[in-house]
Amino acid sequence: MIKRNFYLFNVLFTFLFLTGCATGQTSKVKNLTQAEFKKTFDGKADAQILDVRTPQETSKGKIARAVEADYFDPNFKAKVAAMKLDKSKPIVVYCAVGGRSSKAALILSDMGFKNVLNLEGGYNSYHK
């Protein structure tokens, strides 16, 4: 009986822990479609847009008004902090296709940014 209760407690605790972590992570960052981006942020002077691609990638083109911080740079967080971006305003993060930017978006959220948006499809979809 004690083993059974212990097992049930562990199963319940694990379930609550995992669902809580997953829910927290998805609520921190929202995905933004290309259409939503173009309607809401593209070309806007006050838009905060962060390109997390490498310098080699950004040299071939980027979204207008985007600031750059290479996700692979070991000083990524420090470089973003030095940019003095407004943490209370929405910030759109993008990379080539969306993988790095989704990870970078979670970092920004952990840094205190309140409204972090990951551009679905990244620059490759935007550039088409």
Which superfamily does 27-127 belong to? Answer: Rhodanese-like domain (3.40.250.10)
Residues contacting residue 40 through CB under 8 Å, at least 6 positions apart: 32
Least confident of 26-30, 44-48, 58-62, 112-116: 26-30
The structural domains of the chain, with segments of one domain joined by +, span: 27-127
Task: Give the list of residues 6+ apart from residue 64 with CB closer than 8 angstroms, or none.
Answer: 42, 43
Residue 66 pLDDT greater than 70, yes or no = yes
For 76, the 3-state DSSP assignment is helix
Where does the pLDDT of residue 20 fall: very low under 50, low under 70, confident under 90, or very high at 90 and above?
very low
How does residue 127 score in pLDDT terms, banded at 50, 70 and 90? confident
How many Å apart are CA 69 and CA 62, to the nearest integer?
12
Q: How many angstroms separate the CA atoms of 44 and 48, rounded? A: 9
Portion of the chain with pLDDT greater than 90, in percent: 73
What is the distance between the alpha carbons of residues 57 and 44, in angstroms, rounded to a whole number? 23
